[in-house]
Amino acid sequence: MRALRLMRWNSEPELVELPEPEPGPGQVVIRVGGAGACHSDLHLMHDFQPGQMPWDPPFTLGHENAGWVHALGEGVTGLEIGQPVAVYGPWGCGFCERCRVGVETYCENTSASPAPGGGGGLGADGGMSEFMLIPHPRFLVPLPDGLDPVSAAPITDAGLTPYHAIRRSWGKLPPGSTAVVIGVGGLGHMGVQILKATTAARIIAVDTREAALKLALASGADQALLSGKDTAAEIRSATGGRGADVILDFVGSDATLAMAGAAARMVGDITIVGIAGGTLPVSFFSPPYEVSVQSTYWGSRPELIEVLDLAARGLVSPTIVTYPLERAVEAYRRLQAGELSGRAVITPS
């Protein structure tokens, strides 16, 4: 079978031929219908050195995956050949307290994981191939009626990650509140939709690109602001001087975090989702009193079920551009150049 593999750090991935995987006891093989191209894959290609991660190349890329059950290992029950499924991407040990409630992103016993510190496409072989080995059936979620694998694939990360970040702040987003989305890319445009579908908040989107702001308005934002030195003041003006109750930073640079700190309302939330490496100084007087600052990583398996249900009902829908497997490197190059609107999905099958 064909697979797009990262062969070494600081390199572009290569399309190679590999044997088709066969499931062992308790394992499943899926035929991949869609695999999302995520910005974090660019960090894997360009920003890491040997020894920085708990795993090293080579491995097949693609941690946003959905497809159809292709083969079942001995002892696997509850799944049928041909059944459409989404892959829950973070693979924990399955036994610690976090894993038992489905929050395998925060596994506390990663040495016992099938992909220590990662998952499929993050150390273990991912979905940018015709077939993908799933080490345990708990990592598969049956797709609800009305949702196909190509549409479902980006929801497993680009949908789940903002859903988790927004869900933890639901209590601060009643009618009359304001939420700000900084960065309207693959995750940010889903964040706007999820806010619209699950809260009563007024939504302000911020980006440096006019095309991204148009996408934000089309996704349900009430206001779109071009990012600049006066953006925090514009957010305060739009909120009667109070500031935003919840700010979701899908960039995470020094500039965007400074904007978030300046635009937050007292007792609000600043949630750092983007991994641009910025920092936010915190002191007694800044950010405003009782502002909570947190980072989040991906989401839980129960939350994936919830956001897939929202998508199946048409309440959220990722903007998708599809590429065949042989053009996956082109998709990554366009992603790095900021030329993509929404999410690129590789269709190996």
Based on the domain organization, do 200 and 241 belong to the same domain?
yes
Q: Select from 84, 124, 129, 97 the least CA-distant residue to 308.
A: 84
The pLDDT, as a whole number, for residue 60 is 98
- What is the spatial distance between Cα 142 and Cα 185, in angstroms, rounded to a whole number? 27
Indicate which CATH number applies to the domain containing 212: 3.40.50.720
Indicate which CATH number applies to the domain containing 150: 3.90.180.10
Based on the domain organization, do 207 and 334 belong to the same domain?
no
Structure-token match 């947190």, residue found: 294
**Parent domain of 65:** 2-157+299-347
Based on the domain organization, do 325 and 291 belong to the same domain?
no
The pLDDT, as a whole number, for residue 201 is 98
Q: Mind listing the pLDDT tens digit of every residue in the chain (349 residues)? A: 999 999 999 999 999 999 999 999 999 999 999 999 999 999 999 998 898 888 899 999 999 999 999 999 999 999 999 999 999 999 999 999 999 999 999 999 988 998 887 899 999 999 999 999 999 999 999 999 999 999 999 999 999 999 999 999 999 999 999 999 999 999 999 999 999 999 999 999 999 999 999 999 999 999 999 999 999 999 999 999 999 999 999 999 999 999 999 999 999 999 999 999 999 999 999 999 999 999 999 999 999 999 999 999 999 999 999 999 999 999 999 999 989 888 999 999 8
Full-model pTM: 0.96
Based on the domain organization, do 107 and 40 belong to the same domain?
yes
Based on the domain organization, do 342 and 195 belong to the same domain?
no
- Distance, first Cα to last Cα, the chain: 10
The pLDDT, as a whole number, for residue 115 is 86
H helices present in 141-290, as ranges: 149-152, 160-167, 188-198, 210-219, 231-238, 254-263
Burial tier of 168 (Cβ tally within 10 Å: 0-12, 13-18, 19+): middle
Based on the domain organization, do 142 and 75 belong to the same domain?
yes
N residues, the chain: 349
The pLDDT, as a whole number, for residue 188 is 96
- What is the spatial distance between Cα 166 and Cα 192, in angstroms, rounded to a whole number? 10
- What is the spatial distance between Cα 9 and Cα 151, in angstroms, rounded to a whole number? 30
The answer to whether the CB of 174 falls within 8 A of the CB of 200 is yes
Based on the domain organization, do 181 and 308 belong to the same domain?
no
- What is the spatial distance between Cα 316 and Cα 161, in angstroms, rounded to a whole number? 14
Based on the domain organization, do 62 and 123 belong to the same domain?
yes
Q: Select from 140, 148, 180, 125 the least CA-distant residue to 320.
A: 148
The pLDDT, as a whole number, for residue 235 is 98
Half-sphere exposure at residue 257, Cβ-oriented, CA atoms within 13 angstroms: 19
Task: Annotate 227-255 with DSSP letters as a single string.
Answer: -STTHHHHHHHHTTTS-EEEEEESS--HH
Based on the domain organization, do 62 and 173 belong to the same domain?
no
Contacts of 207 (CB under 8 A, 6+ apart): 182, 183, 184, 188, 213, 216, 224, 226, 227
H helices present in the chain, as ranges: 39-46, 97-100, 149-152, 160-167, 188-198, 210-219, 231-238, 254-263, 301-312, 328-336
How many domains is the chain built from?
2
pLDDT tens by residue, 39-71: 999 999 999 889 888 889 999 999 999 999 999
Based on the domain organization, do 223 and 102 belong to the same domain?
no
The answer to whether the CB of 244 falls within 8 A of the CB of 269 is no
Tokens of 58: 């080579």
Based on the domain organization, do 88 and 114 belong to the same domain?
yes
Q: How many CB atoms lie within 10 A of CB 208?
A: 15
C-alpha distances (whole Å) from 223 to each of 126, 173, 306 are 37, 17, 27
Based on the domain organization, do 233 and 318 belong to the same domain?
no
The pLDDT, as a whole number, for residue 340 is 86
